[in-house]
Structure 1
Amino acid sequence: MSGTPSERLAAAGLTLPPVAAPVAAYVPAVRTGSYVYTSGQLPLADGKLRGTGKVGDGVAPEEAAAFARTAALNALAAAASVAGGLDAIKRIVKVTCFVASAPSFTGQAQVANGASELLIEVLGDAGRHARSAVGMAVLPLDSPVEVELIAEVGD
Structure 2
Amino acid sequence: MRVEQKLQDMGLTLPELPAPNGVYVPSRRVGNLVFVAGQTPTIHGVNQVVGVVGEDLTLEDGRRSAQLCALNILSVLKAELGDLDKVKQFVQIISYVRSAKNFGDQPKVINGASELFKELYGESGLAARLAIGTNELPGGGATEILAIVEVED
Alignment of 1:87 with 2:89, yes or no, is no
Whether 1:129 aligns to 2:112 is no
Question: Are the aligned partners of 2:49 and 2:61 in contact in 1 as well (CA < 8 Å)?
Answer: no
Question: Is 1:35–1:150's contact at 8 Å kept on the other side of the alignment?
Answer: yes
Contact 2:16 2:43 in 1 (8 A): no
1:73-113: CA deviations, max 9, x gaps?
10111122112321111111111120011111111010010
Aligned residues: 153
Please say if 1:113 is aligned against 2:111.
Answer: yes
CA-CA distance at 1:30 after TM superposition = 1.1
Deviations 1:113-138 (A, max 9, x none): 00100111122222111111011111
Runs of 5+ unmatched residues, structure 1? none
1:29 to 20, 27, 34: 27
With structure 2 as the length reference, what TM-score do the two structures score?
Answer: 0.94
Contact 2:98 2:141 in 1 (8 A): yes
Q: Which amino acid aligns with 1:19?
A: L
- Asked whether the 8 Å contact 2:18–2:43 carries over to 1, the reply is no
Q: Which amino acid in structure 2 is aligned with residue 133 of structure 1? A: A
**For the aligned residues, what is the CA RMSD?**
1.2
Structure 1 residue aligned with 2:59: 61
Matches within 5 A, 1:93-108: 93-108=91-106
Deviation, structure 1 residue 51 = 2.2
Provide TM-score, normalisation by structure 1. 0.93
User: Who is 1:47 aligned against?
Assistant: 45
Deviation beyond 2 Å, 4+ runs, structure 1: none
Higher deviation after alignment, 4-13 or 29-38: 4-13
Gaps of 5+ in 2: none
